[in-house]
Structure 1
Amino acid sequence: MKPAKNPGKFLHIPLLQGALPSSPKQIPMEITAGIAFAAFAIPEVMGYTRIAGMPLVTGIYTILLPMLAFAIFGSSRHLVVGADSATAAIIASGLITMAVPESPQYVAYAGMIALIAAILILIAGMLKLGFLADFLSHTVLIGFLSGVGIRISISQLGGMLGIATGLDGTLIHLLSLPSSLLKTLALINVPTLLVSLSVIVVIVLSERIGSKFPGALIAIVGAITASWMFDLSSYGIIILNTIPGGLPHLALPQVTLSDIPKLLNISAACFIIILAQSAATSRAYAMKFSDTFNENSDLIGLGLANAAAGISGTFVVNGSPTKTEMVRSAGGRTQLTQLTTVFIVVIVLMFFTRPFAYLPTAVLSSVVFLIGLRLIDTKGMAALYRQRPVEFNVALITSMTVVVIGVEQGIVISIVLSVIAHLRHSYRPLNLLLVPKQGGAMRTVPLEKGQQAVKGLLIYRFGSNLYFANETRFREEIIALANKDGGLKWFCISATNIEDIDFTSIEALKNVCTQLQQMNITLVLSDVVQPVMNELDRDGITEMIGRDHIFESVQDVLEAYRNLQEE
């Protein structure tokens, strides 16, 4: 079922595109899925909150107003917005040197990061810049998220062992890890370790039973019960203590103007991940269910969701692939599932936060540890290694940058490598020769064969737009092919893949034309699109080549050449 174009509007912004229309038969399933999703999501966001260094209750806030805002203003029927490991790691790595985790100042900074990210996202949505997500390749996302996973998992080892190691995944801590563990082996709190192992066993076994089995929730409820019954804190196990209940207080973060410039780079890094990851997730699930979505409307929804996060005392939210898959597995097919989850979270905040005071912190460390392990995309890395070794190296460099140096630096490297990968494809395009088959259709052959379409005619197809970086390759290949056979009379450039041509390339084309004329070879063009044709007219190349030597197709070139030989 495809969403209605405009279920409703507010200030010209469509509303509830992801929830309406909804079949009456589907509504009970959506409500059931929303209840089940809440059981999965609350323990998970506690883990992400731990990664972000925020007070635990603020994680629950991420599945309140932010999720509500996207359900109302977003267009995707499937994308689930909430706390995410990648953006949580970016916040933590950026703020750790600016404020004490969980302190009021730290929370204020995190809220301001959400507001700045919201402004960037809203600007991108209003300017219809959703296409920018395409420039962060899937390859570097595999490497980036794998690096984040390694870093997160390492950072939780201390909490799982009951020792204060301070591990955060940076190079210094990685190099000191073996010696640190040896020195602190005697400090390991065995009861804490047993709690951690128990949580991991429960979650892993529940996943073996089925994806709809809330292992994290069972582990948390079991740990709270055991802590309450047996006073686990008396065994040296650290517990959370009181978690405030009630709904979040709405206010702007208390941050001075002088602090804002220090938060811009963190906000920009979050913006990039939100842009890329949310668009990729929306696209994947829309394709899976044959639904439509508008990536720019989703940006408006994501921007308003982050604005809601900023004023409700929580941190950046993102389109989460793990939460989206949770909803799909639970049977949810529209944003009505998320609206139900919001209602359940309101009830939890109002009446059920007190039991969390008994929760051992090792439980959350173990949940986060497993979240980190799931982010390490070993299958994706293995597939890249087998199929695209060069792209595997790109993913590996990105991953190691995140682990060794930091998350923000990993973002920068991922953008640079994505651009380099794009330039590499256009700088070294697949250029081929065209020769006719029986029946008149054309087939391609490698340049190395130097095969003419018919005797005296060679058809060369350039595989990319023509610009300053590849014009040398373009010119050298044409001249080399022209020199390969002394019997060449016509050299045809098939421009079917050339949609743009810059000033440098215009000069290169003039040079090619002149050199071919000196070799008594006629240069002809085919399949020239109108924007490129306009450039050729404006720069005098049409006159130089001759308009009668520019053809609509290679078949026209063949026909004209054969007619010339028969005269």
Structure 2
Amino acid sequence: MAESWQLNRFRRFLVHEFKSRIIFNGEIKANMTHEKNPKRFLHFPFFQGAFPSSPKQIPLEITAGIAFAAFAIPEVMGYTKIAGMPLVTGIYTILLPMLVFAIFGSSRHLVVGADSATAAIIASGLITMAVPGSPQYVAYAGMIALIAAIFLLIAGLLQLGFLADFLSHTVLIGFLTGVGIRISISQLAGMFGISAGSYGTFMQLASLVRDLDLTNVPTLIVSLSVIGIIFLSERIGSKVPGALIAIIGAIAASWMFDLTSYGIIILDAVPGGLPHLSFPQVPLSDIPKLFNISVACFLIILAQSAATSRAYSVKFSDTFNENSDLIGLSLANAAAGISGTFVVNGSPTKTEMVRSVGGQTQLTQLTTVFIVLIVLMFFTRPFAYLPTAVLSSMVFLIGLRLIDTEGMTALHRQRPVEFNVALITAMTVVVIGVEQGIVIAIVLSVIAHLRHSYRPLNLLLVPKPGGAMRTVPLEKGQQAVEGLLIYRFGSNLYFANENRFTKEIIELAKKDGSLKWFCISATNIGDIDFTAIEAFKNVCIQLQQMNITLVLSEVVQPVMNELDRDGITKMIGRDHIFESVQDVIEAYKRTAD
């Protein structure tokens, strides 16, 4: 009895230590318990997203993994249709790729698998190179995954995760909205039972309108039934797998009532078993043609995965390493490339699915992998009875959900300029293509970034009663103290905004003939380039000619080093560089007295 009590006590002690401490760089560091989501940098780079985990949480993770499989399998079938790949290859995306990321990734929450944006990019790029679903098409898709894996690996090793910051949320809203419109329109023909012969969004829409009288009514009834079941299940609760219910119901109806006799097209045979591991056989001369598609996929993976990981790490007060995740995503895409499937991405949709069913770590995904393995081994045969209209309806709904009307409305209301950027991106995707849309998205993101730094918010500072400072617009020209004006520049100083910097300072200096000191508050200036240094010298000279003393405050050390090196400190005088604007005011008052 006493021995059993001691054993249980020792076991509880070990569990507590495992949860509250991790080994890193040879040291034992105290950390938070799982409930507070610990930092997880183990001394071995495996399963960082799965462990440590509370023993009480493990059964919940397994249950969540089973539920997630019920959601994920129908969803990836839809993404497979978008990509133009054989149905079983979609199920492969949640086998080896998901397993590999669970082993090598750092995020506890990010779910890796097929994604609508990257699937649309693949289809848009390969439609002119091979017949969708053909062995050549599958080989091209596998090679795209391998090339994207190389880009992700290089980005991870060079710690380039920060590049995700250059794809703004605004253009992603526009890009995904455009993808959603394009996907939804592309599935209408399949939902109506009409041949979708044309390529291009508007051509497909025109073809549908022209051939509307050829609609197969039983196929349309199947499509509407699927949409109705999914909508009804969502109204009942988020944990009801409406897509799975629709698929099972459609398969059962097809088997019992022979729906093909009504002109409804079914999938026919779906191969089962595990994927065959091999290097995709693509002619060397064709590989350069795949680079643009691979780069577009890489950029979407980089931006979308990082954004999703960050959002959920904040939501759960957790930590992750975006460069480790890039390595994990690289290896996941390499696994996709050699297992006969297509590019995988960190999916916000799947990540939210896992959260909604109670999953909190990669243990959920590991459980899902096991369920998918069982499905591939024993349960692919019933899919042969599945009407293709079911998948068209599911993809149509996926497209509708990508159309971010809420985000576009918010942009239009709050930031009209950014709304125009998102709208241009969306229209490029719809009218021209997905690859071109991602290029426009990148260009517009960079332009938006330059616009913010090119036209920063520059203000004047004046003291409030009690000594604190408040800001006022430049137009007021208000002095902090009679004879002293404090000007705060709102950005780093570089070639594109140095002219604005010079012009504003000289105009303010000329505005009031009583000005004696001009203070530049440099608290927002973290860097200054060669062109801006020359502008700084020009400002010094012009103010000296107007008998105005130039002083600086709150200069950060890197900028101070530049000023020292280029002789500006000597021009201004070190005694005219202050730690704060309050010091400037006190020094000015002393000289005025």
TM-score by length of structure 1 reads 0.97
Counterpart of 2:514 in structure 1 is 487
Where does structure 2 lack aligned partners over 5 or more consecutive residues?
Answer: 1-33
Counterpart code for 2:140: Y
Q: Could you tell me how far apart the structure 2 residues matched to 1:79 and 1:5 are?
A: 15
Counterpart residue number, 1:104: 135
The offset of 1:416, in angstroms, is 0.5
Cα deviations across residues 185-223 of structure 1 (Å, max 9, x unaligned)?
A: 221111111110111111111111111000000000000
Which residue is equivalent to 2:424?
A: 397
Cα distance in 1 between the residues matched to 2:546 and 2:525: 25
Q: Contact 2:73–2:91 (CA<8 Å) still a contact in 1? A: yes
2:333 corresponds to which of 301, 306, 312: 306
Q: How does 1:166-315 map to 2 (within 5 A)?
A: 166=197, 168-174=199-205, 177=206, 180-315=207-342
SS in 2 for 1:544: helix
Take 2:102 and 2:156, find their aligned partners in 1: how far apart are those partners? Answer: 16
- Aligned residue for 1:156, secondary structure, equals helix
Matched to 2:440, the amino acid is: I
1:126 counterpart residue number: 157
What does residue 100 of structure 2 align with? 69
Range that drifts further, 315-324 or 436-445: 436-445
Deviation at 1:167, TM superposition (A): 5.0
TM (norm. structure 2) is: 0.93
Residues 180 and 401, structure 2, Cα contact 8 Å, conserved in 1: yes
Percent identity of equivalent pairs? 85
1:155 aligns with 2:186: yes
CA contact (8 A) 1:154 1:167 kept: no
One of 45, 49, 66 as aligned partner of 2:80: 49
Q: Which residue does 2:58 correspond to in 1?
A: 27
CA distance in 1, matches of 2:535, 2:412: 38
Determine if contact 1:238/1:360 at 8 Å carries over to the other structure: yes
What SS does the aligned partner of 1:247 have?
Answer: coil
Paired position in structure 2 for 1:478: 505
Work out which of the residue numbers 177, 196, 207 in structure 2 matches 1:165: 196
| Contact 1:157–1:167 (Cα < 8 Å) also in 2 | no
Secondary structure, aligned partner of 2:400? helix
Q: Decide whether aligned partners of structure 1 residues 191 and 231 sit closer, same or farther in structure 2, where only a CA change above 3 A counts.
A: same
Matched, 1:5 2:32: no
Please give the secondary structure, in 1, of the residue aligned with 2:194.
coil
Q: Deviations over 1:81-103 (max 9, x none)?
A: 00000000000000000000000
Following the alignment from structure 2 to structure 1, what is the Cα–Cα distance between the partners of residues 480 and 361?
55
327-336 vs 536-545, greater mean Cα deviation: 536-545
Cα RMSD after superposing both structures: 1.0
Structure 1 contact 7–21 (Cα < 8 Å) conserved: no
Assess if the C-alpha contact under 8 Å between 1:74 and 1:301 holds in 2: yes
Letter in 2 for 1:525: L
Counterpart AA for 1:421: A
AA aligned to 2:59 is P
Q: Deviations over 1:298-334 (max 9, x none)?
A: 1111000000000000000000000001100000000
Find the residue that maps to 1:274 and give its secondary structure: helix
- Aligned pairs for 1:542-553 (under 5 A) are 542-553=569-580
Contact 1:156 1:167 in 2 (8 A): no
SS at match of 2:251: helix
SS in 2 for 1:279: helix
- In 2, the alpha carbon distance for the partners of 1:208 and 1:350 equals 33
**Match status 1:456 vs 2:483:** yes
1:428, CA displacement in angstroms? 0.5
Distance change in 2, residues 1:182/1:125 (3 Å): closer
**Counterpart Cα distance in 2 of 1:182 and 1:521:** 73
Matched residue type, 1:5: R
**Are residues 1:537 and 2:564 paired?**
yes
Change (3 A) 1:3 1:301: farther
